[in-house]
Structure 1
Amino acid sequence: MTNTPAAAPDAEPRPTYRADGTPLSIQLFTVEGSGYGPYVGLPLYDLWTPYTAHLFTRATAELIVADMHRDDCGMRAGFAADGTLTFVWTEEHDGEGGTLAVRPDEHGRYLIGGLWSWDDWGDHVPHTAGQAAFACGAREYKWPGEKCTEHPEGLDHLYAQGREEAHAVSLRRDEP
């Protein structure tokens, strides 16, 4: 059996606001049980499960794909010329095998989930100082100024990349 959901970007609602009208903020994700990421994502809902899909930029989607290929998890993925990201997995992966095509939304973000179990990326995840600096920058993307939290010298570029990724996925570059 092959699964081929490939909804157009405007075919499903993309809520990014809480019920009270306040915008949802970014979160950091990893694949459960791994040290991958942190993947800067934008949840669509306040409450999510490990299989809920979240929005990710193309850069983060590329990192997810690279980590998946490095892990040899029975799943492959690639980007088509039109930007569509297609996941393909074997019967050994889930008992059925299948494909999933994800088209970017109007802002170039990919709705990824349901293929593996997400976990919050945090101190319980084994990580490097570089991953921690990137995560710190992403978490502090709304704070004005330069570096807000200290991290090891020489990792400012990773801190800046984390901030930039959070701004890109949230579409709120000017938010205080």
Structure 2
Amino acid sequence: MTTTAPVTVPIDTDGTRLSIQLFTVEGSGYGPYVALPRSSVWTPYSAHLFTRATAEMIVRDMERDDCGISATFAEDGTLTFTWTEEHDGDGGTQTVKPDAHGRYEIGGLWSWDEWGDHVPHTAGQAAFAQGATEYRQVDAAASLPLLLDGLYSRGREESHLLTLGLERS
């Protein structure tokens, strides 16, 4: 499957523009993965938009988990997931091409969960998540302990990169 749909900002039924959300693979402490949902209503298997850096993080976590799914990036940026028969009973591949802004639409191969307090996490993950969710607010990196400030700033950067170039409704 190749993803080439145009990117638009999802609008909720009440007219609210959706923004980034944080995800993890259900039942794991991976992430947080900064994502832009493709619609206002999503399921655990829905595809969301991710930056290249976050897509690489997802791939590293999958390899670490030995979940029956592997992934590789081609020179042109195309990301190809391959999974075994043990993963879903069939095995297969899924190809994702980055959009014009370098975002990858990833989903359907495992169950997403919202990343939050119910997910075991480190102080570094929490700082990254805080930065990602506060990307439209005043930068609070200076108020954080050394080392966590950089993770906070990386979270902000991921959210900014993810939302660049989106249609404004």
**TM-score, reference length from structure 2:** 0.91
Work out whether 1:14 is the aligned partner of 2:7.
Answer: yes
Structure 1 residue corresponding to 2:98, chosen from 100, 104, 114: 104
SS of match in other structure, 2:93? strand
Structure 2 residue corresponding to 1:164, chosen from 154, 157, 161: 157
The residue aligned with 1:35 is 29
Question: Would the alpha carbon gap of residues 172 and 159 (structure 1) be closer, same or farther in structure 2, given more than 3 Å must change?
Answer: farther
Structure 2 CA distance for aligned equivalents of residues 143 and 166 of structure 1: 12
Structure 1 CA distance for aligned equivalents of residues 120 and 143 of structure 2: 19
Q: How big is the shift at 1:171? A: 1.1
Structure 1 CA distance for aligned equivalents of residues 148 and 83 of structure 2: 36
Decide whether the 8 Å contact of 1:29 with 1:39 is kept in 2: yes
Query: What 5-or-longer segments of structure 1 have no aligned partner?
Result: none
Structure 1 CA distance for aligned equivalents of residues 141 and 165 of structure 2: 19
Amino acid at match of 2:113: D
Question: Would the alpha carbon gap of residues 52 and 170 (structure 1) be closer, same or farther in structure 2, given more than 3 Å must change?
Answer: same
Structure 1 CA distance for aligned equivalents of residues 47 and 157 of structure 2: 21
Q: How big is the shift at 1:24? A: 1.7
Per-residue Cα deviation, 1:20-39 (whole angstroms, up to 9, x for no partner): 65432000000000000000
The residue aligned with 1:65 is 59
Decide whether the 8 Å contact of 2:141 with 2:152 is kept in 1: no
Structure 2 CA distance for aligned equivalents of residues 151 and 37 of structure 1: 20
Structure 1 residue corresponding to 2:45, chosen from 33, 46, 51: 51
Matched residue count? 166
Amino acid at match of 1:165: E
Decide whether the 8 Å contact of 1:109 with 1:169 is kept in 2: yes
Structure 2 CA distance for aligned equivalents of residues 17 and 149 of structure 1: 32
Structure 1 CA distance for aligned equivalents of residues 116 and 16 of structure 2: 24
Work out whether 1:114 is the aligned partner of 2:108.
Answer: yes
Q: How big is the shift at 1:56? A: 0.1
Decide whether the 8 Å contact of 1:129 with 1:152 is kept in 2: no
SS of match in other structure, 1:67? helix
Decide whether the 8 Å contact of 1:52 with 1:113 is kept in 2: yes
Q: How big is the shift at 1:46? A: 1.1
Q: How does 1:71-150 map to 2 (within 5 A)?
A: 71-144=65-138, 146-147=139-140
Structure 2 CA distance for aligned equivalents of residues 86 and 172 of structure 1: 25
Structure 1 CA distance for aligned equivalents of residues 7 and 160 of structure 2: 17
